[in-house]
Amino acid sequence: MLTRRILGLKDLPGRSSIYRMVSSTTIKVTVTNSDKRRVSLDGEEGDNLMEIIKQQTDFPLEACCGGMAKCSTCHVYIDPKQLALVNEVCPCSEFELDVLDRCIDGEANSRLSCQVELKEDMQELDVVIPSTVKDLRFSR
Ligand code: FES
């Protein structure tokens, strides 16, 4: 984060190749599937949580809308002890809250993983994939 500020890269997208060259902090993420299987993932600052789950696990996270915050098939639960930190460094938008409100299994610690960008402060992030996800595009 400091390197990014020093180099004036604050406004570049998190996954720019320039930023990756100067960033070396690995962010550990543990994902638990509905069958209680746990997988440890390695991410970097700026990585999208949904994308690293899809890339590094075989968990059925559909992400039907491709990260547009429209379908909720990337819904995850954030460890309640980490929720305040995650929401502080990666705030939940009103749009995301609207989508989460329509999840049948939404909880206070729900987030759309496609809307969570990993930050250095999110070390040892613990997330759970709900047993049910529903694609809202087909729910009417
Ligand atoms: S991928 Fe559709 S809401 Fe996240």
131 three-state secondary structure:
coil
- pLDDT means per 10 residues, the chain with 140 residues, are 42 48 79 94 96 93 92 95 96 95 92 97 94 55
Q: Looking at the domain assignment, is residue 94 inside a domain?
A: yes
Give the model's pLDDT for residue 83: 97
Of the CA atoms within 13 Å of residue 112, those in its CB half-sphere come to 30
Q: Looking at the domain assignment, is residue 124 inside a domain?
A: yes
Q: What separation in Å is there between the alpha carbon of 75 and the centre of ligand 1? A: 7
Q: Looking at the domain assignment, is residue 93 inside a domain?
A: yes
Give the model's pLDDT for residue 104: 82
Q: What separation in Å is there between the alpha carbon of 99 and the centre of ligand 1? A: 9
- Residue 51 sits in which domain range? 26-128
Q: Looking at the domain assignment, is residue 140 inside a domain?
A: no
Give the model's pLDDT for residue 133: 57
Q: Specify the number of domains making up the chain.
A: 1
Of the CA atoms within 13 Å of residue 31, those in its CB half-sphere come to 25
Residue nearest to atom 3 of ligand 1 (CA): 69
Give the model's pLDDT for residue 137: 47
Give the model's pLDDT for residue 129: 94
Q: Looking at the domain assignment, is residue 19 inside a domain?
A: no
Q: Looking at the domain assignment, is residue 86 inside a domain?
A: yes
> What phi and psi values does residue 88 have, to the nearest 5 degrees?
-75, -45
Q: Looking at the domain assignment, is residue 30 inside a domain?
A: yes
Q: What separation in Å is there between the alpha carbon of 64 and the centre of ligand 1? A: 6
Give the model's pLDDT for residue 114: 98
Which residue out of 74, 116, 134 has the highest number of ligand 1 atoms within 8 Å of its CB and is therefore the one to mutate? 74
Give the model's pLDDT for residue 52: 97
Q: Looking at the domain assignment, is residue 33 inside a domain?
A: yes
Q: Of ligand 1's atoms, which has the minimum distance to the CA of residue 73?
A: 2
Q: Of ligand 1's atoms, which has the minimum distance to the CA of residue 115?
A: 4
CATH number at residue 114: 3.10.20.30
Q: What is the pLDDT of residues 33-67, one digit of tens each?
A: 988 999 999 999 999 999 999 999 998 888 999 99
